[in-house]
Amino acid sequence: MSTQDINTEVHNAFEVIKNGGIILYPTDTVWGIGCDATNPDAVKKIYALKQREESKSMIVLVNGDRMLYNVFSEIPEVAWQIIEVTDKPTTLVLDKPKNVAPNLIAEDNTLGVRLVTEPFCYKLMERMKKPLVSTSANVSGVPTPNSFKEIDHHILDGVDYIVNLHHDKIAAKPSSIIKIGNDLQVKVIRP
């Protein structure tokens, strides 16, 4: 896969996202459904496609410290320590998110976030200058697909764009999820 392929797919995905569309794309873990994390209407489309209650929040991906600070005013020191020591994708659930669609924020005023370095996701967010919603490419309650071939036709037909990268890759496991409160309570939700 060449840089040109990635750049073409970033361009195509960005054109859809900037117009409020939703995409199916490879992440650093499993295939995800995503959109502009600041667009509540696009977020609503994902909830509808997944047949998921809006009370079950989704996560956002960010591509660096600057974007992370744009979504959270306070990032506990322990969050940075976890980011530094972990060698696998880890989603952190942090308190008091800001600058994202209200329907992404959980009832307890938290939001899951993951720093990604995967080239497609990273470059797409660089172009968007905004975080990217990420939720597994399945209908709510159905097992998460491990490869592109396992993604249900309902999902394939329901997105506005399917990224043409890594269709043959078997996915890594979903990320670990660790909740860190501003009171420094740490809870492992998914190891």
3-state secondary structure the chain: CCHHHHHHHHHHHHHHHHCCCCEEEECCCCEEEECECCCHHHHHHHHHHHCCCCCCCCEEEECCHHHHHHHECCCCHHHHHHHHHCCCCEEEEEECECCCCHHHCCCCCEEEEEECCCHHHHHHHHHHCCCEEEEECCCCCCCCCCEHHHCCHHHHHHCCEECCCCCCCECCCCCEEEEECCCCCEEEEEC
The pLDDT of residue 122: 96
User: Residue 160: CA atoms inside 13 Å, Cβ hemisphere, count?
Assistant: 17
For 49-91, the pLDDT digits (tens) are: 999 887 788 999 999 999 999 999 899 999 999 999 988 899 9
Residues ≥6 apart with Cβ < 8 Å to 37: 43, 60, 71, 100, 101, 104, 130, 131, 132, 133
pLDDT of residue 22: 98
Q: What is the pLDDT of residue 142?
A: 92
Q: What is the pLDDT of residue 19?
A: 98
| Structure-block tokens of residue 75 | 């990032």
Amino acid at 96: K
CATH numbers and ranges of domains, the chain: 3-190 (3.90.870.10)
Task: List the chain residues with pLDDT less than 50.
Answer: none
* pLDDT confidence of residue 1: 58
Can you give the pLDDT at residue 158? 97
